[in-house]
Structure 1
Amino acid sequence: MRILIRLLALGALLVLSQKSHALTCTMDGTYLADYYLETTVAISNTMPKGTVVWRSPNRIGTLKCWQEQPAGAELVYLYASPESNLALGEDIEIGINIDGTDYTYSNLTQVKNGIKREPTELKLDGCRSFAGCEDQAKIKTVSYNFFFSKRSPANTGQAKEGPVSSQSKFAVFQLDGEGGLNPKVGSNYRQYVHNLHNLRYIACSSTIALSQSTINFGSLSNVNAQRDQIARQKPFSITANKNCDSAYGLAALLKPLTDAKLDAQREHVLVPEDNKSVGITLHDMDNNERVVPFNQEFELVPHSQDRTVTRHFAARAVWLTDKANTTLGKFNAGATIDIYYK
């Protein structure tokens, strides 16, 4: 009887140790996601290490994970660059943002079977059925994007030009179990990015100057305030300078700071936290006063060899309420501008 107990314990240990074979994850019911890089992404040697040169649109999806064999409790892990990080060369590395936190490949400290990884907050309770435990699946809403960042330090020496990589596609990450990557291909959610030939080197980078970093609307009178009426408009400009003749463009991405939020119905309207009776919109005066979006890339400088380009914009304070509902007092709102080379 004593020997039988030992054999049973050993058998259980063998089953529970095979975690890399036991976990399946899907995102919105699929195992695979492909993103096609449609625009060029330009990288200069002079960019500092850690510079984000491109970021994908944010995706919000439903992550579902369960164990397909008997196994103990385990965390779900994000495995970065599950195929090879070498495809991006010596100057660029992949990064993943999960629920608002950036993880770059070089900063990940955990390694399993040669693949760098980061634990997620999702934990499975264990499974005792050889038929699997999809009925005990853990489900979580996940927000993620991925990005390319400068891996090497700034270098003012010999400029590089041409493509960064000859690869057609790159595996960004895979969601898998504690024991490592599941050898069963297509059983766990994996993100790919295609068209790496659009990553290219350029000979120099640009400096960006704002005509004014703080826009002061002054005192606004609510005597004639009406919803959606422009209370005041202030012009400003952005100038880009470079010291070489490399042809490239610049894209920009506006993000609200914590002192403001976007209007729920109109996501181009920035609403100050300290006064919700006023909204702020930005307009491209060089393009028929077109609204400048938040959280969405827009063209700041067209692709060209021009060394100096100035773009003209306007900030508008817009009433979000009528006179009777306006809140008296100051209002403050801010935004950051991320610049990407194209």
Structure 2
Amino acid sequence: MKGIVNAMVIVLFVFNVSNANAGVEEYSCDAGSGSPIQSLVVNAVVNIPNSAAAGTIVWRAPERAMNYNCWRGAEAFSTYYFFNPKNKNFGSEIEVGVTINGVDYLPSSTEKYAHSFASKMCGNGQSCANSYASYRMSMFVVKKSNSGSTSKTKVIDINNYIPYEIGKDKNSSNTSVRITGLEANLLPCTSTVIIIPNTIDFGEIRSTGATPELEIQRENFTLSEQRDCQSASTYGLNGVLRPAANANLYGSMGTLVPKDNDSVGISIFDVENNTPVRFNNEFVVIPKVGTISNSKQFEARLKWRTKAPKAGRFNAGAVLDVYYK
């Protein structure tokens, strides 16, 4: 009789279950409003003259105060600005740069910049308080092509460009800034701008009856523009007025004060609409026109800043940066 053999085979399956996230530092950053993308509306057309040399900064945007939040990290970490994260290429004519806290950065030469903002974070599943950081930013456009290389008007679309993102690494948890409404035009034109007179002499001033804010004298000067276009091209000129090295700036309206004698101050006015020109702020010099010769009238108004002025000469200068618009 054959025996019946009952066999029991025991197979041991061993599983090693591990946490896929172990040792991985999670984090997220946003623009302070819960959104990962912060849109900045610029609504500007940058007109670039044919005479501009390669490397010339042909336009700057007004500076903006910005902020961002980060949270959900097991350890503290530093944040970085990653420039041009989508690797946008505007061709051989221009490059778009970013100014962070007063320092210019071009994506072609700087990939990232450390903000050195470290935050104490918390682990997964815990209640995390976000950490806040603020900074100042602006944008600028640099011409890459050589002067004289523009034979006809060319439009370059900069709309929806992402100049940088902020985070620990390049990933989807970062916050980014998107620019809308920005366009650049290369023009086969050059404008020559002169100021007449370029030196204003207020002459001899008597201090009798000096009173703070009392106007002493007014003097006019003219900004003249001449275009070399073969045919009329429609564009305008914007400007930014800033104090020279021999002057300081005071007051919300922008009063130019000589460093060698602060008894007086000078304000610049647009004669056409009788409004003050704010220093360090962009303003319209010549509106968008197609005429070859154009001009703009300004007025320098001298006023007392004290009732006990100091005797002697004074000198104060201002620099006008002009941009094609």
Question: Structure 1-normalised TM-score?
Answer: 0.78
- Which one of 112, 115, 123 corresponds to residue 117 of structure 1? 112
Assess if the C-alpha contact under 8 Å between 2:257 and 2:264 holds in 1. Answer: yes
**2:48 aligned with 1:47, yes or no?**
no
Structure 1 letter corresponding to 2:61: S
Post-superposition offset of 1:336: 2.2
Assess if the C-alpha contact under 8 Å between 2:72 and 2:122 holds in 1. Answer: no
User: What corresponds to 1:250 in structure 2?
Assistant: 237
Post-superposition offset of 1:90: 2.3
**Separation (CA, whole Å) in 2 of partners of 1:270 and 1:29:** 42
Partner deviation per Cα, 1:231-279 (whole Å, 9 max, x = no partner): 2222222111221022211111112245434323x32322334433321
**2:259 aligned with 1:276, yes or no?**
no
Assess if the C-alpha contact under 8 Å between 2:117 and 2:133 holds in 1. Answer: no
- Which one of 116, 120, 130 corresponds to residue 124 of structure 2? 130
Partner deviation per Cα, 1:200-228 (whole Å, 9 max, x = no partner): 22111212112243333333221122222
- Which one of 122, 143, 150 corresponds to residue 136 of structure 2? 143
User: What corresponds to 1:113 in structure 2?
Assistant: none
Partner deviation per Cα, 1:3-48 (whole Å, 9 max, x = no partner): xxxxxxxx9x9736x5xx5352545776433233334221234311
User: What corresponds to 1:160 in structure 2?
Assistant: 152
Assess if the C-alpha contact under 8 Å between 2:254 and 2:278 holds in 1. Answer: yes
Structure 2 letter corresponding to 1:207: T
User: What corresponds to 2:83 in structure 1?
Assistant: 80
User: What corresponds to 1:181 in structure 2?
Assistant: 170
Say if 1:134 and 1:232 are closer, same or farther in 2 by CA, change over 3 A. farther
Post-superposition offset of 1:97: 1.3
Percent of aligned positions that are identical: 26
Gaps of at least 5 residues in structure 1 are: 1-10, 109-115
Assess if the C-alpha contact under 8 Å between 2:161 and 2:178 holds in 1. Answer: yes
**Separation (CA, whole Å) in 1 of partners of 2:300 and 2:237:** 21
Deviates more, 1:210-219 or 1:287-296: 210-219
Question: Structure 2-normalised TM-score?
Answer: 0.81
Which SS does the other structure have where 1:37 is aligned?
A: strand
Structure 1 letter corresponding to 2:124: F
- Which one of 279, 289, 309 corresponds to residue 326 of structure 1? 309
Structure 1 letter corresponding to 2:171: N
Taking only aligned residues, the RMSD between alpha carbons, in angstroms, comes to: 3.0
Structure 2 letter corresponding to 1:159: S
**Separation (CA, whole Å) in 2 of partners of 1:134 and 1:334:** 53
Structure 2 letter corresponding to 1:36: V
Which SS does the other structure have where 2:23 is aligned?
A: helix
- Which one of 260, 270, 283 corresponds to residue 247 of structure 2? 260
User: What corresponds to 1:236 in structure 2?
Assistant: 221
Which SS does the other structure have where 1:271 is aligned?
A: strand
**2:38 aligned with 1:33, yes or no?**
yes
Post-superposition offset of 1:107: 3.0
Structure 2 letter corresponding to 1:222: S
Structure 2 letter corresponding to 1:332: N
**Separation (CA, whole Å) in 1 of partners of 2:73 and 2:41:** 35
**Separation (CA, whole Å) in 2 of partners of 1:25 and 1:14:** 24
Say if 1:43 and 1:278 are closer, same or farther in 2 by CA, change over 3 A. same
User: What corresponds to 1:221 in structure 2?
Assistant: 206
Assess if the C-alpha contact under 8 Å between 1:233 and 1:317 holds in 2. Answer: yes
Length, aligned pairs only: 306
**2:283 aligned with 1:298, yes or no?**
yes
Partner deviation per Cα, 1:162-188 (whole Å, 9 max, x = no partner): 3112x64111211221xx22323xx52
**Separation (CA, whole Å) in 2 of partners of 1:262 and 1:35:** 29
Assess if the C-alpha contact under 8 Å between 2:220 and 2:299 holds in 1. Answer: yes
